[in-house]
Amino acid sequence: MSEPVLFKGYLEPSFNWNEGDELILQPVFMVPVEVFRTGFLIRPEYRTVMAIVEAVGGKVQFIPEKKAPGVLEPEPGGRRLPANISADRALRNAESAAVTEGREGWKALSGSSHAMTREEKLRACWKIWVRHGETLTDSVNGNSMKAGELLGLILP
């Protein structure tokens, strides 16, 4: 995917914001990831998860595919953060995070994990943060944080 990615729509919010609230739109990639795990101490496991890859810094968050938020159109106006990673990089980040998830310590020796993504199922959209004074609220899950902490979360 060498052409620039067009971010369309926004992740379905869990609450409604007020008309005068300042909105910050963070670009994200939604990537379905198929994960297969096997090992000595665990039964073989196959599952599909939704990886939400932040396009500003590349961090990955996993959500069970059935609980993934929908994408609504058109996106509201607000300040848009720039996308610093490509769609190819988002796919690689999602795969590598899925392979290493839950493999800390000695568990890394006892099994194997394989992940696969499909480029055609990738979706580029916006995640909305609502600013209330000095705090920002994630519209998807409702978590709040100080405005300065957002920089630490989204920057690599």
Residue-wise DSSP of 60-96: EEEEEGGGPPPEESSPPPSEEPPP-S-HHHHHHHHHH
Return the SS3 of 118. coil
If you average pLDDT over residues 21-26, what whole number do you get?
88
Measured between alpha carbons, how far apart are the two ends of the chain, in Å? Answer: 22
pLDDT surpassing 60 at residue 40: yes
Q: What is the pLDDT of residue 151?
A: 63
Q: What is the pLDDT of residue 15?
A: 85
- 1 pLDDT band, cuts 50/70/90, is very low
Q: Whole-number mean pLDDT of the chain?
A: 84
If you average pLDDT over residues 119-124, what whole number do you get?
91
Percent of the chain whose pLDDT exceeds 90: 32
Tell the residue number behind the tokens 């509201």, with chain if given.
76
Please give the Cα distance from 92 to 95 (Å, whole number): 5
Q: Where are the beta strands (DSSP E) in the chain?
A: 10-11, 22-39, 45-54, 60-64, 71-72, 79-80, 111-117, 123-132, 135-138, 144-146
**CB-based contact 107:81 (threshold 8 Å):** no
Percent of the chain whose pLDDT exceeds 70: 88
pTM over 0.75: yes
Q: Could you tell me the maximum CA-CA distance found in the chain, to the nearest angstrom?
A: 56
- 90 pLDDT band, cuts 50/70/90, is very high
pLDDT surpassing 50 at residue 73: yes
